[in-house]
């Protein structure tokens, strides 16, 4: 005999049904980077071009269990998203963590020129 989900849920308490609904919602919200990329209709090759890395680099990112925030940020921005972190502390209202993983413009250091042996000798003589 087969019992429908609705029939099973009808036998549960209101509290139990609410808990099951929360768990089901959490399961729906979990998605892999690969699935997210596919939802955006992007191939690994097209994303790799946007990220200026090789296709195998995208594949490695998608298989990782642990990665740097900057890598995740680049990936999410590459597929057209925005990354934010919500912190949920006991007894506090959840908040968005700021300035974490934001891209900063890197100022290039002035290029050092090679000093020839003659220039070094002249500098020593002048000192």
pLDDT digits 0-9 by tens, 68-118: 999 999 999 999 999 999 898 999 999 998 877 555 444 444 454 555 566
Model pTM?
Answer: 0.57
Domain boundaries, the chain: 1-30, 32-102
Looking at CATH, the fold of the domain delimited by 32-102 is given as 434 Repressor (Amino-terminal Domain) (1.10.260)
Distance CA 49, CA 82 (A): 19
Q: In which residue are the tokens 């700021």 written?
A: 98
């Amino acid at each position: 005999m087969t019992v429908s989900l609705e029939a099973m849920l009808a036998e549960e308490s209101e509290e139990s049904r609410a808990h099951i609904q929360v768990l089901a919602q959490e399961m729906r919200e979990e998605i892999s980077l690969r699935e997210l990329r596919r939802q955006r209709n992007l191939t690994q090759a097209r994303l790799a071009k946007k990220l200026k890395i090789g296709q195998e680099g995208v594949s490695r990112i998608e298989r990782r269990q642990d990665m740097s925030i900057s890598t995740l940020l680049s990936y999410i921005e590459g597929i057209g998203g925005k990354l934010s972190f919500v912190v949920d502390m006991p007894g506090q209202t959840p908040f968005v963590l700021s300035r974490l993983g934001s891209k900063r413009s890197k100022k290039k250091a002035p290029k050092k020129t090679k000093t020839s042996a003659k220039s070094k000798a002249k500098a020593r003589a002048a000192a």
